[in-house]
Amino acid sequence: MKFFATTPRGMSQLLVRELREAGAEKIRPSAAGASFEGELEVAYRLCLWGRVVNRVLLPITTIRANSPEELYDEVKAIHWERHLHSSGTLAVDCSVTDSAIGHSKYAALKVKDAVVDRFREQFGERPSVELENPDLRINLHLRGNSGKINIDLSGGSLHKRGYRAEGVIAPLKENLAAAILLLADWPFVASRGGALLDPMCGSGTLLIEGAMIAADIAPGLFRDHFGFKGWRRHDGNVWQTLLEEAQERRKLGLTKLPPIHGFDANPQAVTAALRNVDSAGLSRHIRIERRELGTLPRLGGDSPGLLVVNPPYGERLGEIDELKTLYAELGRHLQADLPGWRAAIFTGNPQLAGYVGLRTRRKPDELFNGPIECQLFLYRVPSEGEADETQRVDTTLAESEGAKMFANRLRKNLKHLGKWARREGVDCYRLYDADLPEYAVAVDLYRGDKLWVHVQEYQAPKSVDEEKARQRLMEALAVVPQVLEIPVEQLFYKVRQKQRGKAQYEKQGSQGAFHEVREGSCRLLVNFSDYLDTGLFLDHRITRSMIEKEARGKRFLNLFAYTGVATLHAAAGGAMSTTTVDMSNTYLDWAKRNMALNGYTGKEHDYIQADCTNWLGEQAQRGGDKFDLIFLDPPTFSSSKRMEESFDVQRDHVALIENAMKLLSQDGLLIFSNNFRKFKLDEEALSRFKIDEISRQTLPEDFKRNPHIHRCWRITHQ
């Protein structure tokens, strides 16, 4: 079925993420929301679990409306008896833009008349009008002389969760509060046990939405009415199953809820917040007190939390002067009492945010609070005794002799590699890779709509003084933006260290910010903030180009596919079909998005979520489909609760290659690679195959300082 979901301005990226989580397919964002396809369950799940969505619409038909009479006739011809009982109730919502029918209420009246007249003529009785909770809410969007008729499955805006007490006015709608928290990485902070604090909590909307996100509570659980409940095609069994699942998830989630605190100086606001919290069933989980901003406590905890606040914006000059002091007080509280915390300040007066005294993590997000254009400023507070390496660049650090040496090396590399990159048409490459032992970082450049820089620090050995290593890192982070002439918001930094157990799969954050870059003729998405790697392994650039040249007319298999960039190159090279296998749903979804970005959405492109080792073994044993070109690029080591046992590339590579060769056609090609520096291919055990090492041929110019970055072989049948 085809649907359309609406969302307020500025939230479309969050809506797309929400749609994917609900299981939607063929998502097409627009200014007003996004169209998508899926089973009816997907629409129900979105109504129940949507945090930023406003409405879920089911398109019925497109009509002509050159006049009120034509609108009436077109609507009357629709088979409304399939959707509503003659004894039921209905309401009509209408929006009109540049139409001959100039008034939305008049257009809505003509739609209502057409529907009830059809029922009266066919059944001798007609539905009645019920504006609040009708059995069927009809939505007409009239633009020019064409109209779209929809059924509103949500039955009204989903921002109305049902927990807000009567008569309590709140400055933020619930879905706006949820969007603020999602953009501020609250799910990531909460998953680490960090607390949530709103020092000016008002009626408590941010606190309640924060608790529901952290406790995995479906926001629709509090609503009494949904538009699909009186709809004749409603599937009660599907809805009941979703409700039961949501109740179980809520019950489990409340046992893991981190501390949530709200304070406000206004006693009426505190009373309102307590009423709302009680209505949401969260009185035992959210602590609210009356406190002045200057008397806030210092909150402890094992993990840094998130301060989120929607302070006053001010309208008159005298108010703004007073608010400067308030915003500065917020900044002082953050730096003095909440070291290591994140902060999110949502304001309609961006000039006031400058008085907080901290550098923002990135460009502010633009959202609308009703008609007011607002901005969300995100910060990270330095820990005690620590400079804030992600946002506060001390330019004096770039003046040390070591920093100048590092800057000179960057400039030298930029001159040589920049010329090479322009000549070869390379947009993403490694500029620096621990060239100077004292500055053990990798600096990667990604040229998309802007120049983005991804810096990874190699974990220093224990023999290196920790303070000295930190000082050199700070110098490097001060130098990189200066040499590359970029604002610090375009620089992302991570520590690269050996990952153990499930940590190797965990997200580093949840900003959900994807950026489009190019590799050859392919467009693809990278993410600098949420994962240890960006979604594009730069050292395999030549290998992927080789796959593209080999792929024409062939059946391609990509194992341990990650974000599917090799699949994308195979498709660009004219592969007859592609099969992409990875254990992670997140990466498979990323692969699908990369393919869709380039127009490869046909049924010849298959995606399989599976443990590649087990899947390969099962396919080989049962004599599964044959492939003409296989890319096998396993990790060095892997373990996950989804895997039956761990994987070690040195230990397991022989069985892995043998099973892959069983799926390779007689004249096919297997490209095998890995990044284990000490790896030794057991050629004796694989002697029945023709094996050619091509590691040198696949080493790009920007990795020649590190010839052991990967090993690569071409393997064919004898």
Residue spans of the domains in the chain: they are 2-152, 174-214+257-380, 395-497, 515-717
Tokens encoding 48: 């129940």
CA angle (672 as vertex; 572, 685 as ends), nearest 5: 155
CB 5 within 8 A of CB 36: yes
Q: Which residue has the tokens 């890319």?
A: 631
Q: How many CB atoms lie within 10 A of CB 105?
A: 9
Strands (E), 391-437: 428-433
CB-based burial label for 40 (10 Å; 0-12, 13-18, 19+): middle
b or e along 319-335 (b: 16 or more beta carbons within 10 Å of the residue's beta carbon)?
Answer: eeeebeeebebbbebbb
Domain 174-214+257-380 part of CATH 3.30.470.20:
no
What does the pLDDT read at residue 337? Answer: 86
Give the strands of the sheet with 89-97, arranged side by side.
25-30, 33-37, 2-6, 55-64, 146-152, 136-143, 89-97, 128-129
CA distance 361 to 392: 9
CB 184 within 8 A of CB 213: no
- Of 350, 356, 359, 351, the C-alpha closest to 382 is 359
pLDDT of residue 167: 58
pTM of this prediction?
0.60
Between β-strands 627-632 and 664-674, what pairing exists: parallel, antiparallel or unpaired? parallel
| pLDDT at residue 510, as a whole number | 44
Written as one letter, the residue type at 187 is: P
Query: For the chain, how are helix, strand and coil distributed in percent, rounded to 5?
Result: 35, 25, 40
Q: Is 485 left (phi over 0), alpha (psi -120 to 50) or beta?
A: left
Fold classified for 395-497: Transcription Regulator spoIIAA (3.30.750)
Token pair in block for residue 668: 């096919």
For residue 76, count CB atoms less than 10 angstroms from its CB and return exposed for 0-12, middle for 13-18, buried for 19 or more: middle
Asked if 401 contacts 370 with a C-beta cutoff of 8 angstroms, the reply is: no
Strand partners, 261: 197, 287
DSSP β-ladder status, 711-717 and 689-693: antiparallel
**Is 3.40.50.300 the CATH classification of the domain at 2-152?**
no
CB 260 within 8 A of CB 277: no
CA distance 334 to 340: 9
Q: How many CB atoms lie within 10 A of CB 451?
A: 14
The Cα 246–Cα 123 span in angstroms is: 40
The answer to whether 561 and 594 have CB atoms below 8 angstroms apart is no
Q: Do domains 174-214+257-380 and 515-717 have the same CATH topology?
A: yes
Of 494, 514, 541, 475, nearest to 697 by C-alpha is 541
Alpha-helical runs (H) found in 77-173: 104-123
Question: Which residues in 624-642 are b (16+ Cβ under 10 Å) and which e?
Answer: eeebbbbbbbbbbbbeeee
Encode pLDDT of 54-107 as tens digits. 999 999 999 998 899 999 999 999 999 999 999 999 999 999 888 888 788 999
Tell me the residue type at 413.
N
Residue with tokens 């099962």: 618
The whole-angstrom separation of Cα 109 and Cα 64 is 16
What is the model's pLDDT at position 32?
Answer: 83
196-198 vs 260-264, strand pairing mode: parallel
User: Residue 378 — left, alpha, or beta (φ > 0 → left; ψ -120 to 50 → alpha)?
Assistant: beta
The pLDDT assigned to 503 comes to 37
Helix (H, G, I), strand (E, B) or coil at 2: strand
Q: What is the distance between the terminal CA atoms of the chain, rounded to a whole angstrom? A: 50
Distance, CA of 456 to CA of 508 (rounded, Å) = 13
Closest CA relative to residue 634, chosen from 617, 657, 618 = 657
In order, the DSSP letters of 635-681 are: -SEE--TTSSS-EEHHHHHHHHHHHHHHTEEEEEEEEEEE--TT---
Q: How far apart are CA 514 and CA 512, in angstroms?
A: 6
* Whether domain 515-717 has CATH 1.10.287.3510: no
Q: What amino acid is encoded at 141 in this protein? A: H
- The secondary structure of residue 541, as a DSSP letter, is H
Q: What is the spatial distance between Cα 307 and Cα 195, in angstroms, rounded to a whole number?
A: 8
CA distance 208 to 178: 9
* Structure-block tokens of residue 604: 């010849």
Give the model confidence (pLDDT) of 393-417 as tens digits. Answer: 445 566 788 889 999 999 999 999 9
Which residues in the chain land under pLDDT 50? 317, 385-394, 497-511
What is the C-alpha separation between 204 and 273, in angstroms, rounded? 5
